[in-house]
Amino acid sequence: MTRALPLVAVVAVVATAANGVIGLRGAMPWSIPSDLKRYRALTMGKPMIMGRRTLESIGRVLDGRDTIVLTRAASLPFEGAIPARSPAEALALAARAADRRGANEIVIAGGAQIYREFLPSTDRVERTVIDASPDGDAFFPDLEAAGFALAAREPGPGGPRDSAPTWYERWERT
């Protein structure tokens, strides 16, 4: 897959359980409200590439971000979502959106198939690790095997409504 623009970084933003699970039956098998603030901060003002099922699980187009959806579907369920028929088209649309917004990053926002598809083009991964090992049917790829190295790790702030402790990791392509 070719890169969209040389000055735009491709960054995957993901929450995974300690066992790599990112979903179960189309939903996250945890509740971490404190991480939603981090997600918003990491993605605000940037174009996001996601799959149709991820958009449907969110339930709407997120404000302040361009939502580019890689899909074979003829239409999308939410106004404002931008369809893309191929990964190359999604990156090109995201690069144009980043240019319009003055953003220096494109966010890869899931789900599992989208993360796998775009991992070769990804420069950095911002990962929230949930200190739990729930059952799941969607998994995030192994970052070391994909050519990434752990660059930073810190505990998440936690919150009274969080179902488990978290830590934040930054992975960079080696």
9-173 classified as CATH 3.40.190.10: no
Tell me which DSSP letter residue 84 carries.
E
pLDDT at 4: 45
- Per-residue pLDDT of 41-62, as tens digits, reads 999 999 999 999 999 999 999 9
pLDDT band per the 50, 70, 90 thresholds, residue 112: very high
Digit-coded pLDDT (tens) for 73-105: 888 889 999 999 999 999 999 999 999 999 999
pLDDT in tens, 118-166: 999 999 999 999 999 999 999 999 999 999 999 999 999 989 999 999 9
Altogether, the residues listed in the chain come to a count of 174
| β-pair type (148-155, 82-84) | unpaired
Alpha helices, H only, 14-141: 33-43, 52-58, 87-101, 112-118
**14 pLDDT tier (thresholds 50, 70, 90):** very high
Beta bridge partners of 139: 21
**Annotated domain spans of the chain:** 9-173
Q: Is this model's pTM higher than 0.85 or not? A: yes
Tokens matching residue 26? 């189309």
